[in-house]
Amino acid sequence: MTILEPSGVRARELDTAYVPPPASVRGHGVVTLYTAITAIVLALLMLFGLAMRASQAGVITIPPNRFYELLTAHGIGMVAISGLGGAAVMWYFLSRYVSLSRGILLANLAFFLAGVVLVLGAIFVGGFAAGWTFLFPLPARSLGVWGPGATSSYLVGVLLVGVGFLLLYLDTGRAIIRSYGSLGKALGWPQAFGKSESEPPPPTVVASTVVTIINIPAIAIGAVILTISLINTLAPDFRVNALLAKNLTYFFGHVFINSTIYMSVIGVYEVLPTFTGRPWKSSRPFLLAWTATMLMVVAVYPHHLFMDYANPRWASVLGQILSYTSGLPVLAVTAVATMANVYRSGMKWSVTSSLLFASIVGWSVGVIPAIVDGTIAINRVMHNTLWVPGHFHMYLLLGVVAMQFGFMYFLTSVKGVVDAAIDRAAVWAYVVAGMAFAIVFLASGAMSVPRRWAVHLAPWMGLDRLGAAFALLTVAAALVFVVSFLRRVRTIGG
């Protein structure tokens, strides 16, 4: 059987002049492998999440040390796997425009898997449970719950994952510069600033360039703090300023997780037009928005340090102002263009197009509670409540992960085969239950229920049970996506 590029092309081929660029086939087997690993790991980590939520609800009992292990694995795992799934989307489409190295793509996967083995061993064998943010000095101060061996294994594991991604971004940077002459040209600066009338680079190249530029320093800074923590673990006399450590950690964490959105949204730019028959061009606002977001996203991270009164006041003010503006330009041009692309296009609502469309809605809606939390006066009350997981589950679960599930259906769409009823039902279940699951987190946060607590008090458990029920439905829908994707990969042989 042949993989038909975008299933929607059939529906639109009569009345559209738009033909998607040919896909380069080299490396697509590796992309499918990335995506299959992403699917399986997402399912597993969602089950961890369900277990945590059920335990908070008192439906099952997970001992606290196990809970914090699960929390650590779920957090670091979800961040890393969104990165891997996003990298698959970015690589797949970017390779249409520039010449990427398949060897580097494989090397990243090898580093990733080696890192995952060390991290899982650290957590489930060594008992490491300091949270995915490995915030200094907790990794080295476990009060005997885990040993320095477990901490070292965790830190080295995360470091290996970082090295892999660093190689990948060095390669995308190299390839982009080779094809477009410079990063500035790949960002479309000549067109954005009216210096050139020529065709600007396609959205995929613009987004990939931004991710390359912001993630290389993010990973490098992450490596610095991981290494410092590693030395501190092995030689406790070697210390670092805790405030500096937190700044470094959250610079890395904030930029990396945001990049997962910026990589995954490339799937929307490339796939949605094949359903609507309207190409997605880099308009001037689009180019300016991506540059604006690129500059702001690296400076907004102090919104994670509002409670750290020792941090400079100007940093908090910057954090609040940029929280309002940082992600907004890209989100706004993407959301508006999505609506314009879909509106009256006669688009076929397949599982792929529905998930991609829903992802833009989920991302847009999720930004609202995020901005609320980015306000100092509110953060003072909401910090460390379930409001925080509420907002990020909304745009990660319904934004990033919905984009990636949409990409999985796109990748394996087969000519003449229509979506099964169960997949269609799963889209509804995923969107509705996922949204409800996140809203219950927000509601609990509004009641000041703390986040990251293994054991909840009885008055919180009503909402917890509701949250666990919606989590169950969300995970069930996700399992449908995953099983269905893996079956299609098997039948079409990747």
Interface residues with ligand HEM (CB under 6 A) are 46, 49-50, 52-53, 71, 74-75, 78-79, 82, 131-132, 389, 393, 396-397, 400-401, 451-453, 471, 474-475
- Which ranges of 235-327 does DSSP label H, i.e. alpha helix? 242-276, 284-297, 313-325
Residue 246 sits in the site that holds Cu ion (CB under 5 A): no
Measured CA distances, 393 to 146, 186, 329, 398 (Å): 29, 32, 21, 7
Residue 168 Cβ, how far from ligand HEM at the closest point, in Å?
A: 19
Binding-site residue total for Cu ion (CB under 5 A)? 1
Q: What is the CA radius of gyration of the chain?
A: 22
Provide DSSP, 402-419. Answer: HHHHHHHHHHT-BTTPPP
Q: Using the minimum distance from each CB to ligand HEM, give the nearer residue, 74 or 303.
A: 74
Q: Using the minimum distance from each CB to Cu ion, give the nearer residue, 259 or 345.
A: 259
Other beta carbons within 10 angstroms of residue 13's beta carbon come to 11
Q: Using the minimum distance from each CB to ligand HEM, give the nearer residue, 391 or 393.
A: 393
Could you tell me which stretch among 198-206, 253-261, 281-289, 433-441 binds Cu ion (CB under 5 A)? 253-261
Distance linking the first and last C-alpha atoms of the chain: 11
Candidate list 254, 278, 391, 456; residue touching Cu ion; CB under 5 A: 254
For 159: left if phi > 0, alpha if psi spans -120 to 50, otherwise beta; the answer is alpha
- Which option in ligand HEM, Cu ion, none does residue 475 bind, with CB closer than 5 to 8 A by kind? ligand HEM
Backbone angles phi and psi of 335, in degrees to 5: -65, -45
Residue 259 Cβ, how far from ligand HEM at the closest point, in Å?
A: 13
- State the Cα–Cα distance between residues 194 and 215, nearest whole angstrom: 28
Task: Pick the closest to residue 57 from 470, 465, 479 (CA basis).
Answer: 465
Identify the three-state secondary structure at position 472.
helix
- State the Cα–Cα distance between residues 106 and 150, nearest whole angstrom: 27
- Which option in ligand HEM, Cu ion, none does residue 82 bind, with CB closer than 5 to 8 A by kind? ligand HEM
Q: Give the residue nearest to ligand HEM (CB).
A: 49
Bridge partners of 385, per DSSP, are 450
- State the Cα–Cα distance between residues 247 and 301, nearest whole angstrom: 8
Other beta carbons within 10 angstroms of residue 421's beta carbon come to 8
Q: Using the minimum distance from each CB to ligand HEM, give the nearer residue, 268 or 288.
A: 268
Name the residue type at position 453.
Answer: W
Could you tell me which stretch among 32-40, 117-125, 248-256, 394-402 binds Cu ion (CB under 5 A)? 248-256
Q: Using the minimum distance from each CB to ligand HEM, give the nearer residue, 77 or 201.
A: 77
Residue 450 Cβ, how far from ligand HEM at the closest point, in Å?
A: 8
- Which ranges of 95-202 does DSSP label H, i.e. alpha helix? 102-120, 148-180, 183-186, 189-192
Q: Using the minimum distance from each CB to ligand HEM, give the nearer residue, 194 or 459.
A: 459
- Which option in ligand HEM, Cu ion, none does residue 50 bind, with CB closer than 5 to 8 A by kind? ligand HEM
Q: Using the minimum distance from each CB to ligand HEM, give the nearer residue, 166 or 403.
A: 403
- State the Cα–Cα distance between residues 406 and 300, nearest whole angstrom: 29
- State the Cα–Cα distance between residues 141 and 182, nearest whole angstrom: 46
Q: Give the residue nearest to Cu ion (CB).
A: 254
- State the Cα–Cα distance between residues 432 and 428, nearest whole angstrom: 6
Angle, helices 328-342/351-373, rounded to nearest 10 degrees: 150
Residue 338 Cβ, how far from ligand HEM at the closest point, in Å?
A: 21
- 207 near 98, Cβ under 8 Å? no
Bridge partners of 450, per DSSP, are 385
Q: Using the minimum distance from each CB to ligand HEM, give the nearer residue, 132 or 275.
A: 132
- Which option in Cu ion, ligand HEM, none does residue 438 bind, with CB closer than 5 to 8 A by kind? none
Q: Using the minimum distance from each CB to ligand HEM, give the nearer residue, 50 or 480.
A: 50
Tell me which DSSP letter residue 101 carries. Answer: -
Residue 68 Cβ, how far from Cu ion at the closest point, in Å?
A: 22
- Which option in Cu ion, ligand HEM, none does residue 282 bind, with CB closer than 5 to 8 A by kind? none
- 158 near 134, Cβ under 8 Å? yes
Of 198-217, binders to Cu ion (CB under 5 A) are none
Could you tell me which stretch among 115-123, 247-255, 286-294, 405-413 binds Cu ion (CB under 5 A)? 247-255
- Which H/E stretch holds residue 486? helix 461-492
Residue 299 Cβ, how far from Cu ion at the closest point, in Å?
A: 11
- Which option in Cu ion, ligand HEM, none does residue 254 bind, with CB closer than 5 to 8 A by kind? Cu ion
Q: Using the minimum distance from each CB to ligand HEM, give the nearer residue, 296 or 433.
A: 433
Q: Using the minimum distance from each CB to ligand HEM, give the nearer residue, 33 or 473.
A: 473
Q: Using the minimum distance from each CB to Cu ion, give the nearer residue, 50 or 305.
A: 305
- Which option in ligand HEM, Cu ion, none does residue 80 bind, with CB closer than 5 to 8 A by kind? none
- Which option in ligand HEM, Cu ion, none does residue 132 bind, with CB closer than 5 to 8 A by kind? ligand HEM
- Which option in ligand HEM, Cu ion, none does residue 31 bind, with CB closer than 5 to 8 A by kind? none
- Which option in ligand HEM, Cu ion, none does residue 471 bind, with CB closer than 5 to 8 A by kind? ligand HEM
- State the Cα–Cα distance between residues 44 and 68, nearest whole angstrom: 16
Residue ranges that bind Cu ion, judged by CB under 5 A: 254
